[in-house]
Each structure stands twice: as structure tokens, then as C-alpha cells.
Amino acid sequence: MPEQLLEVANVTAGYAQDIDVLRDVSLAVYGGHVSGLIGLNGAGKSTLVKTICGLLAPKSGDVRFLGESIAGIAPHRLIDHGICCIPQESSLFPYLSVEENLLLPLQGRAHTFGASIDARYAEVLEIFPALREKRRSAAGDLSGGQQKQLEFAKAWLQKPKLCLVDEPSIGLSPLLAEEVFAWIERFAKSGMGILLVDHNVRRVVRMSDRIYVLSLGRITASGTKADFEGDLHEQVRGWLGIDF
């Protein structure tokens, strides 16, 4: 049985005192597995990612990593616990070079990464060769696809146990989106636990070990890939406009 990394336990959260975007949400992510979160626009998917990352405090419930609550941890300290987030919006510093963007998250963390930083950096440039050619360029001068590649390279360099990936294929061509999904699969095969949020429902179902359906702030269905593949879950079929 794989190790449970993340547990979202009965979380209710929102941006206003009397308005709850998430209602009693529970899900789990395991090491080496992809947990997919799907839902229509406005369902609360990105709100859940922000809550896990500490950008939004739960009103009730808890977020636990390896059995310990992380609800009160500042977002920039999560990597110290082995948690990384690839957000929907860019997290890059556009006027810093590719190399500076890659190494910035490791600054002041020699006690965690030690002498392996140089080896990891060399590995990243092997995995993402386009970044080797652009390593002296400003991140803001990269194409959209290259910037997304840099986001994933940053995450790989940090070697987290858990990676939250929010809408990674949005705005990308189908070819670039396929590259993104291949990187996610590589992350999972390395042993990382992945929480994947993406609008490409069919792809999320295909590559996830467990799928959660979020609708109007609640988990309305969940199951294994086998439960959703082929004859898709009734609710998901309805989203895709498939007749019964």
C-alpha cells in the first residue's frame, strides 16, 4: 500500500465570512500516485489548491501532510516539508534569468539540499534541454510553453514528496499539453504524489489513480480510474455532452 502523503479532512473554506466556496471536502493523495480533481468552472478547484497551500485558511476541517497538520504553515515554508505547487498563474520572476528562477527556491536551504544542488541542477538541464539553451535569458522573454517548462523544472529541482499541479495545460497547444502531461507522469513514477487539477477531463481520468469530482464546493463522486474509464461516471458524461 503506498504511503498517504496528503489528507484533506472535511475542509470548509471561503473568501468571505458568510460564503463558503468549499463545503466539507475530503480527499487523499498517495506517494507515486496521481489524484485527479475535476469539476466545472467555479466548482472550487483552485480554491482547494489555495487552501492546501496555505493561501486560504480553512474555516473548519484540516489539511494534513504525513499525518501532521499543515494548515498554519506559511506557503513559502511548504517546500521545507516536501510540498511544492505549480500554480495556474505564473510564479516566475520575469526579470530574473532562467537559472536564477530555478535556483531561487533553494537559496538558504543548504541544510536540506546540501551538495546535491549542483547535481540536481545539471539533471534538470538534461531533462529540460530547451532551458539549457535559455538559461541566461530572462524568464519573461520565454514563450508560454517554455515558461511552463520552467515551472516544472523548478518543481523537479526541489524534489518534493507532494506536488500540487493546478490547470497545467490551460492556454497551451495540444502538443505542448501532451509534454506537460508526460512530465506529470514522470513526476509520479519518481515517487512523488500528485494532485492534478485540469479542465481536460478525459486526460485527467486517463492518468489518475483516483479521481474526485468537485461540484458547487462539494465532492460529489470519487473512485478509481476503473470506476471512471470507459463508461464514464454519469455526472462526467453529462458535462461532456454524451448521450446515454
Q: What share of the chain has pLDDT > 90, as a percent? A: 56
pLDDT tens-digit map of 76-133: 889 889 999 999 888 999 999 999 999 887 776 655 555 577 788 888 888 888 899 9
Half-sphere exposure (Cβ direction) of 127: Cα atoms closer than 13 Å = 21
Where does residue 91 rank: exposed (0-12), middle (13-18), buried (19+ CB within 10 A)?
middle
Q: Is the pLDDT of residue 173 over 80?
A: yes
Q: Is the pLDDT of residue 243 over 50?
A: no
Q: Taking all residues of the chain, what is their mean pLDDT, rounded to a whole number?
A: 88
Kindly state the helix (H) or strand (E) to which residue 104 belongs, with its residue range.
Answer: none
- What pTM value is reported for the model? 0.90
Q: For residue 84, what are the contacts with CB-CB under 8 A and spacing of at least 6?
A: 78, 155, 158, 160, 162, 163, 164
Q: What share of the chain has pLDDT > 70, as a percent? A: 90
DSSP structure class, residue 3:
P
**Which amino acid does the sequence have at 128?**
F
Q: Is the model more confident about 2 or about 218? A: 218
**Would you mind telling me the total number of residues written for the chain in this entry?**
244
CA separation for the pair 174, 123 (Å, rounded):
26
Per-residue confidence band for 210, with pLDDT thresholds at 50, 70 and 90: very high
pLDDT tens-digit map of 21-52: 999 999 999 999 999 999 888 889 999 999 99
What is the CB neighbour count within 10 angstroms for residue 6?
Answer: 23
CA separation for the pair 218, 12 (Å, rounded):
9
The domain locations on the chain are 1-82+161-244, 94-159
Kindly state the helix (H) or strand (E) to which residue 74 belongs, with its residue range.
Answer: none
Q: Is the pLDDT of residue 230 over 70?
A: no
CATH 3.40.50.300 given to domain 1-82+161-244: yes
pLDDT at 237: 61
